[in-house]
Chains A and B, each alone.
Chain A
Amino acid sequence: MHVRSRSRLVGALALLTGCADPVHDREGDALVVAQETQAAWTRNFNPFLPNGAARWPTRGGIYEPLLVYNRVAGEWTPWLADAWAWEEEGRALRFHLRSGVTWSDGEAFTAEDVAYTFTLLAEHPELDGLGVWRWVEAVEAQGDEVVFGLSRPFAPGLEDLAEQPIVPRHVWVEIADPLAWNNPDPVATGPYTEVVTFTSQVWELGRNPRYWQPGKPAVAKLRFPAFAGNDAANLALVNGEVDWAGNFVPAVGRTFVDRDRAHHVAWSPPVEATVYLYANTTVAPFSDRRVREALSLAIDRETLVTVAMDGLTHPADATGLSDALAGFRDPGVRAPWTDHDPAAAARILEAAGLPLVEGARTEPVDLLVVAGWSDWIRAAQLVARDLGAVGVPVRVRPVDFGGWLDRVQRGDFALTIGWSSQGSTPYAGYRDLMGSGTVRPVGEASGGNWHRYGSPAADALLARIEATADPDAQAPLYDQLQAVFAAELPAIPLFPAPAWGVANTRLFTGFPSPDDPWVTLSPNRPPEPLLLLTALEPR
């Protein structure tokens, strides 16, 4: 009796499990990508929505911009436009469009489409997240060229115009509310445009039959299984079910790379924007430059990057620039405040009028950090320890993301760890770190410059950069900006953030690696993935 029931149980188990997923004989025609964390997919390919609301390939595989910036190479790749030039002393920007490009429905791609895309931004300010119409005055299609008229010379505007996804006029002109349209069957110019299947758990995107790059893309389709969390995605990655991923893998060398050194690649160059410790400069004693310098001297950045960031990056230098902007770095700009020197920090705090009283120089200070962002929380704890050691007691306060963003934008904090702005030049970063134009009163939300620091010296340089489109003329200005940053220390740079990327090259080739660093391995920064998607090939 007992024996029989047990064998029945085993039989049922075998039946239940006998045909488990065939993990290791996957079809090789679909590149499996894990970039978004979703338990169930919703079908949305609207390129005007931020990432997360529209599916990931929308801005990095379906729709294309005029130019694509390559952060590793540090240069613009011509895309829908094959040439561009500044005219009228920086008051006009002219793009020459590539010929032979068609929309995936067969209609010709023209300058009218480009002009129409920007007209949409003007008519619907909610689509214009970057606010280009604050300085664009007019956009006009002229034959196979598009000309932007600017209200003032604004050289840094190139990147905001160049990376805007371009939509087909003949489709979008029918749409009354472009923000609320889910665009289920996209008509686009990109390498992948055809939705093959779409269910809540997995969807596939096939290649554009009319793509303008002959013979590309070589991979027939992209496949997106839904992963509800990082752990689920990591398990699939380790199991060989994912070819390309942008999610964080803990101890990636041991858990992933070592399992198949020939095929498993993890490469995270520190080219994302630098992570800063922001001290609110409207709050004493952080309004005092000397105090910020002392805080910086107190922080042991080597330990910080080893412990908090798994050694994937390196300490920031006194320019605050990440490796994506390494070409702009002025080796002449040196400042001792990025060294770890607690004794000097203590001396400076003493001189700044903060004597040590009962082991502390200040009241306890709150350091806000986003709850759940474990690497930044670890960094915050190390910073708190280091600052405590020089007499500035710090309490780490994890706050839920929405609340954190709201507080830092309104300037309602003393210390926080946060990202910074980064474009293809140091302009955007320095503007948001020390441009007076980005300073808002405490209580009013500000997109950048949360610490509320304005530097007249930087303002003058930023204005001159805006007026000069010539890179040779800009270069010395950027050097001077770096010197201003190093001297005034508006915020405390910690480390450049790594651009996270992992790949399994068992079925596909063409991925970059530390030995072949031609583009980042990270899918997380559209439209950059266009560069890689058009280069990958089946093995």
Chain B
Amino acid sequence: MSALAWLARRLGLYAVAAWAALTLGFALPRMVPGDPAAALLARLQGKAGPEAIAALRAALGVSDAPLVEQYGAYLLALTRGDLGVSVSRFPTPVAELIGGALGWTLLLAGVSVAISFVLGSALGLAAAWRGGVLDTVVGPALTLLGAFPYFWLAMGALHVFGFGLGWFPLRHAWDTSVAPAPTLEFGWGVVRHAALPALTLVGASVGGWMLGMRTSARSILATDQVLLARARGLPTARVVSAYVLRNAVLPHLTGFGMALGFVVSGALLTEVVFSYPGEGWLLVQAVRAQDYPLLQGLVLAITLAVLAANALVDVLTLLVDPRTRAA
């Protein structure tokens, strides 16, 4: 089978997965008891009668139509790129809400995952190659850091470095005293605001990447080919990059693709602790308020992101691993 045919088959698989996820995103909210109009009116604390709820349901477009009919309308709207209108933030379009949060999430979680992956892999490789303090102290320390409950780590960091020492801003994605514009000052504010949440995200995950890389690098190091390469007197850099890294990174890439895909679902706890305006918070709110349209939109966005990341990893694997090309 040629590489192209292999890719085509993968893409077909992705299409089926996307459809399944869309359908789940449609079905799951409807299995939960209660409905969005009631949740919206809940703040009236019992003052709203069933008549008002019924009128509001109609106005919000909460439908009692047969599920098949609703499903058809849902798919039809999707083909037009219409994600509907949020119920909890009526009448803001879902696409606008997701669009507003997506950039911040990609920036914070995306950069954090990338840093964590590169840093963790480098540390893991070094630990496997050189051993020493890196392997006996740094590795276990980072693993310990990753073992803390994340919200605890984030709130602790916020309390010590943000509140106590005052080194970092306590919340938000940019400096609210600076007008959002493509200026250096605004950009600097964005970096400063992302620094602490990104540090906590990297701190919580880098140990895992390091451990994974160290393990696979160790097993590669023990193989005869590495021994041969060293025996032939190849420079260390070449041995590490061409013989060890290239082989050790393969199982790692899949994990990286998964992590990258889930970036879009947002770093939920990070966003809540640091009041960062990303997708994770939207997701929580959508679930709490039973905001079906927003939930469906988010599920769609997350699904597409995970599938796209997987496709990317497939292509990367194709490039890195010659065996997949030959097969």
Interface residues of A (CB under 8 A from B): 13, 16-17, 19-21, 23, 39-40, 42, 44, 49-53, 124-126, 128-131, 134, 179-182, 199-202, 225-229, 231-232, 235-236, 238-239, 241, 273, 400-407, 409, 419-421, 428, 432, 440, 444-448
Which one of A50, A180, A432 lies within 8 Å of B44 (CB-CB)?
A50
Binds A, one of B84-92, B110-118, B131-139, B218-226: B84-92
B306 CB to nearest chain A CB (Å) = 23
A213–B41 alpha-carbon span in the complex (Å): 33
Residues in B neighbouring A400, C-beta threshold 8 A: 32, 34, 288
Shortest 10 CB-CB contacts between residues of A and residues of B: A402-B34, A17-B167, A126-B59, A39-B281, A406-B34, A40-B277, A126-B55, A403-B33, A125-B55, A228-B275
A176 CB to nearest chain B CB (Å) = 12
As a 0/1 sequence over residues 49 to 86 of chain B, the CB contacts with chain A under 8 angstroms (1 = contact) are 11111011011000000000000000000000000010
Name 6 extra pairs, CB < 8 A, besides A42-B92, A201-B277, A440-B50: A40-B277, A235-B170, A401-B288, A406-B38, A407-B33, A447-B50
B149 is an interface residue with CB less than 8 A from chain A? no
Residues in A neighbouring B48, C-beta threshold 8 A: 129-130, 447
A316–B40 alpha-carbon span in the complex (Å): 29
Q: Is the CB of A421 within 8 A of B272?
A: no
What are 10 pairs between A and B in contact, CB < 8 Å?
A: A20-B168, A39-B281, A39-B285, A53-B88, A125-B55, A130-B52, A225-B172, A225-B275, A402-B36, A402-B289
A407–B33 alpha-carbon span in the complex (Å): 8
Q: Is the CB of B176 within 8 A of A199?
A: yes
B12 is an interface residue with CB less than 8 A from chain A? no
- For the A-B complex, the count of residue pairs with Cβ-Cβ distances under 8 Å equals 200
Q: Is the CB of A51 within 8 A of B43?
A: yes
Q: Is the CB of A232 within 8 A of B275?
A: yes
A125–B38 alpha-carbon span in the complex (Å): 16
Nearest CB to that of A418 among chain B residues? B46
A161 CB to nearest chain B CB (Å) = 14
A303–B41 alpha-carbon span in the complex (Å): 32
Nearest CB to that of A419 among chain B residues? B45
- Max chain A C-beta neighbours (<10 A), residue from B168, B176, B191: B176
Q: Is the CB of B39 within 8 A of A231?
A: no
A259 CB to nearest chain B CB (Å) = 12
Q: Is the CB of B39 within 8 A of A405?
A: yes
Residues in A neighbouring B180, C-beta threshold 8 A: 199
Q: Is the CB of B42 within 8 A of A401?
A: yes
B152 CB to nearest chain A CB (Å) = 12
B125 is an interface residue with CB less than 8 A from chain A? no
A52–B165 alpha-carbon span in the complex (Å): 34
- Given A180-B91, A407-B33, is A39 in contact with B271 using a C-beta cutoff of 8 Å? yes
B14 CB to nearest chain A CB (Å) = 31
Residues in A neighbouring B167, C-beta threshold 8 A: 13, 16-17, 20
Residues in B neighbouring A420, C-beta threshold 8 A: 46
A122 CB to nearest chain B CB (Å) = 12
Q: Is the CB of A39 within 8 A of B170?
A: no
Residues in A neighbouring B176, C-beta threshold 8 A: 199, 201-202, 225
B69 CB to nearest chain A CB (Å) = 22
Q: Is the CB of A402 within 8 A of B290?
A: yes
B97 is an interface residue with CB less than 8 A from chain A? yes
Residues in A neighbouring B195, C-beta threshold 8 A: 16
B203 is an interface residue with CB less than 8 A from chain A? no
Residues in B neighbouring A231, C-beta threshold 8 A: 155, 272-273
Nearest CB to that of B89 among chain A residues? A42
- Max chain B C-beta neighbours (<10 A), residue from A23, A199, A235: A235
A231–B159 alpha-carbon span in the complex (Å): 11
Q: Is the CB of B90 within 8 A of A228?
A: no
B214 is an interface residue with CB less than 8 A from chain A? no
Q: Is the CB of A40 within 8 A of B50?
A: no
Nearest CB to that of B57 among chain A residues? A126
- Given A21-B169, A21-B170, A39-B281, is A403 in contact with B34 using a C-beta cutoff of 8 Å? yes
Which residues of B from 231 to 278 have beta carbons under 8 Å from A?
271-278
A197 CB to nearest chain B CB (Å) = 8
Nearest CB to that of B282 among chain A residues? A39
B266 CB to nearest chain A CB (Å) = 10
As a 0/1 sequence over residues 166 to 199 of chain B, the CB contacts with chain A under 8 angstroms (1 = contact) are 1111111111100010000000000110010000
Q: Is the CB of B91 within 8 A of A401?
A: no
A360–B40 alpha-carbon span in the complex (Å): 40
B314 is an interface residue with CB less than 8 A from chain A? no
B9 is an interface residue with CB less than 8 A from chain A? no
Which one of B38, B52, B277, B289 lies within 8 Å of A39 (CB-CB)?
B277
Q: Is the CB of B43 within 8 A of A448?
A: no
B37 CB to nearest chain A CB (Å) = 9
Residues in B neighbouring A17, C-beta threshold 8 A: 161, 165-168, 192
B106 CB to nearest chain A CB (Å) = 15
Residues in A neighbouring B170, C-beta threshold 8 A: 21, 232, 235-236, 239, 241
Q: Is the CB of B50 within 8 A of A446?
A: yes
B158 is an interface residue with CB less than 8 A from chain A? yes
Q: Is the CB of B38 within 8 A of A130?
A: no
Residues in A neighbouring B90, C-beta threshold 8 A: 49, 53, 179-180
B156 is an interface residue with CB less than 8 A from chain A? no
- Given A39-B275, A226-B275, is A50 in contact with B40 using a C-beta cutoff of 8 Å? yes
Which one of B56, B89, B271 lies within 8 Å of A228 (CB-CB)?
B271
Q: Is the CB of A129 within 8 A of B52?
A: yes
A466 CB to nearest chain B CB (Å) = 16
Which one of A235, A432, A445 lies within 8 Å of B163 (CB-CB)?
A235
Q: Is the CB of A432 within 8 A of B53?
A: no
Which one of B32, B34, B47, B100 lies within 8 Å of A405 (CB-CB)?
B34
Q: Is the CB of B89 within 8 A of A53?
A: yes
A134–B169 alpha-carbon span in the complex (Å): 52
A113 CB to nearest chain B CB (Å) = 23
A447–B163 alpha-carbon span in the complex (Å): 44
Residues in B neighbouring A202, C-beta threshold 8 A: 172, 176
A402–B291 alpha-carbon span in the complex (Å): 11
B101 is an interface residue with CB less than 8 A from chain A? yes
A313 CB to nearest chain B CB (Å) = 17
Residues in A neighbouring B273, C-beta threshold 8 A: 228-229, 231-232
Q: Is the CB of B192 within 8 A of A16?
A: yes
Which one of A52, A182, A232, A446 lies within 8 Å of B171 (CB-CB)?
A232
Q: Is the CB of B100 within 8 A of A200?
A: yes
B295 CB to nearest chain A CB (Å) = 12
Which one of A402, A421, A428 lies within 8 Å of B38 (CB-CB)?
A402
A440–B48 alpha-carbon span in the complex (Å): 14
Residues in A neighbouring B34, C-beta threshold 8 A: 400-406
Q: Is the CB of B43 within 8 A of A50?
A: yes
Residues in B neighbouring A405, C-beta threshold 8 A: 34, 38-39, 42
Q: Is the CB of B46 within 8 A of A402?
A: no
A201–B49 alpha-carbon span in the complex (Å): 35
A20–B195 alpha-carbon span in the complex (Å): 12
A77–B224 alpha-carbon span in the complex (Å): 89
A59–B73 alpha-carbon span in the complex (Å): 36
Residues in B neighbouring A128, C-beta threshold 8 A: 52, 55
Q: Is the CB of B92 within 8 A of A406?
A: no
Q: Is the CB of A201 within 8 A of B41?
A: no
Q: Is the CB of B33 within 8 A of A40?
A: no
Q: Is the CB of A131 within 8 A of B52?
A: yes
Which residues of B from 280 to 294 have beta carbons under 8 Å from A?
281-282, 285, 288-290
- Given A126-B55, A126-B58, A406-B38, is A229 in contact with B101 using a C-beta cutoff of 8 Å? no
A88 CB to nearest chain B CB (Å) = 26
Residues in A neighbouring B32, C-beta threshold 8 A: 400, 402-403
Nearest CB to that of A18 among chain B residues? B167
Q: Is the CB of A409 within 8 A of B38?
A: yes
Q: Is the CB of A447 within 8 A of B271?
A: no
Nearest CB to that of A422 among chain B residues? B45
